[in-house]
């Protein structure tokens, strides 16, 4: 479209470039960036919660004992015995019960109790034996009064303290008497 204006001495030509498009409407667009962010957050959340909710298990290999003739005695200077009592109570001794190198003493489960003792004895035994492969042996003996959770806690302490040689055994009447004397029963 061209418009011409005539004035006295000058002619002005204006070219109008504006074009109105009234027949076509703009389609509204939805920005989906926030939805994509939300989807990734949800995926991350569910992946994290499924990993947190997985049950942790500790493998314990219990041997089938049919022939006990080939068992060798445990070295008393490397053996610490844990007697699991009521609640979180643990009685322990180092060596043999009839002539212990230390104990029997009472403590509790956890980092301020048996864990501290196990780490101390582990270092002492490593200094005594002087050999890398000959570490501490822990015998765990749950009593009739101990809870299953105490046995699981004791096994957890073996893992936390890095004790590779441990076993679960039956508590003897003499060891039951030690627990009974300490509780007053």
Cα-Cα-Cα-Cα dihedral sign, residues 105, 109, 114, 116:
negative
Strands (E), the chain: 2-6, 11-15, 79-84, 89-95, 100-108, 137-142, 165-168
pLDDT tier at 66, thresholds 50, 70, 90: low
- Which one has a higher pLDDT value, 20 or 42? 42
| pLDDT confidence of residue 54 | 65
Q: Which two tokens stand for residue 177?
A: 């008497």
Instruction: Please list, in sequence order, all residues whose beta carbon lies within 8 angstroms of the beta carbon of residue 136, skipping any fewer than 6 positions away.
Output: 78, 79, 80, 118, 121, 122, 125, 126, 163, 165
Instruction: Measure CA 32 to chain center.
Output: 39
Whole-number average pLDDT of the chain: 77
| pLDDT confidence of residue 169 | 85
- Which one has a higher pLDDT value, 9 or 110? 110
Half-sphere exposure (Cβ direction) of 169: Cα atoms closer than 13 Å: 16
Q: Are 102 and 95 in contact (CB under 8 A)?
A: yes
Q: Output the CATH code of domain 79-183.
A: 3.30.420
What's the rounded mean pLDDT across residues 134-142? Answer: 84
What's the rounded mean pLDDT across residues 123-135? Answer: 74
> Does residue 71 surpass a pLDDT of 70?
no
| pLDDT confidence of residue 19 | 59
pLDDT tier at 39, thresholds 50, 70, 90: very high
User: Alpha-carbon distance 84 to 150, whole Å?
Assistant: 7
pTM for this model (two decimals): 0.60
* Domain boundaries along the sequence of the chain: 79-183
| pLDDT confidence of residue 38 | 92
């Amino acid at each position: 479209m061209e418009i011409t204006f005539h004035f006295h001495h000058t002619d002005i030509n204006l070219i109008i470039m504006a074009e109105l498009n009234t027949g076509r409407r703009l389609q509204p667009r939805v920005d989906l960036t926030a939805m994509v962010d939300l989807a990734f957050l949800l995926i991350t959340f569910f992946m994290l919660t499924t990993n947190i909710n997985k049950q942790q298990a500790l493998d314990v290999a219990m041997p089938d004992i049919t022939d006990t003739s080939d068992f060798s005695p445990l070295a008393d200077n490397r053996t610490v015995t844990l007697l699991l009592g009521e609640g979180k109570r643990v009685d322990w001794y180092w060596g043999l019960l009839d002539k212990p190198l230390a104990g029997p003493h009472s403590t509790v489960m956890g980092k301020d109790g048996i864990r501290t003792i196990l780490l101390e004895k582990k270092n002492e035994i490593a200094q005594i034996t002087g050999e890398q492969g000959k570490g501490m042996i822990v015998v765990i003996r749950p009593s009739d009064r101990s809870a299953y959770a105490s046995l699981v806690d004791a096994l957890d302490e073996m893992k936390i303290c890095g004790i590779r040689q441990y076993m679960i055994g039956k508590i003897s009447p003499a060891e039951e008497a030690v627990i009974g004397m300490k509780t007053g029963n």
